[in-house]
Amino acid sequence: MSTIADSATYIHDLLAEVEPPKGGILSRTLFTDSQIKLVLFAFDAGQELSEHTAAIPAIVHILAGEGTLIVGTDTVEARPGTWLHMLPRTPHSLRAETPMVMLLTLLK
């Protein structure tokens, strides 16, 4: 990650920023300012985030791997390219079926 043009942050390859850990979950904050926070998550197969909510709007973008997202009472596939916007306090959870990388954007 680097700053370019004195007013932009550039990440050449999001997938190169993390690698799913064996038997675990890794999270890495890539960027934060007064408007957003970007957190990159890497999950090994079988790992999950139990149901929770966020006090602010959130966007989930699946970059690699496969799994399942439960949002409220709906279950949807999580595959590369999956994109999800959630309003504050939306209950959600995630289970990785294969090693997975997810970008979480929190909107402040």
Per-residue pLDDT at 105: 98
Contacting residues for 1 by C-beta, under 8 A, at least 6 apart: 9, 10, 11, 17, 30, 31
pLDDT in tens, 2-55: 888 888 999 999 999 999 999 999 999 999 999 999 999 999 999 999 999 999
Ramachandran quadrant class, 63 (left: phi over 0; alpha: psi -120 to 50; beta: rest): alpha
pLDDT in tens, 59-80: 999 999 999 999 999 999 999 9
Average pLDDT over residues 83-89: 98
CATH number of this structure's domain 2-107, picked from the four choices 2.40.10.480, 3.30.590.10, 2.102.10.10, 2.60.120.10:
2.60.120.10
pTM metric for this prediction = 0.94
